[in-house]
Amino acid sequence: MTADVLEAHRNARVYAAGKSSLERIMVLLAQRPAYPAELRRLARLTPRGWGILWDELKRSGLLTKEVSQRRWRLRSDRELVEQW
- What does the pLDDT look like over 3-33, one tens digit per residue? 555 565 565 555 545 555 666 666 666 666 5
Higher-pLDDT residue of 22 and 58 is 58
Element of type H or E holding 22: helix 21-30
Q: Name the average pLDDT for the chain.
A: 61
pLDDT at 83 over 60: no
Q: Cβ contacts of residue 17 below 8 Å, gap of 6+?
A: 24
Number of structural domains in the chain:
1
Element of type H or E holding 11: helix 3-15
The answer to whether the predicted template modeling score (pTM) of the entire model surpasses 0.85 is: no
- Domain with 52, as residue range(s), is 3-83
pLDDT of residue 56: 74
8 A C-beta contact, residue 43 and residue 11: no
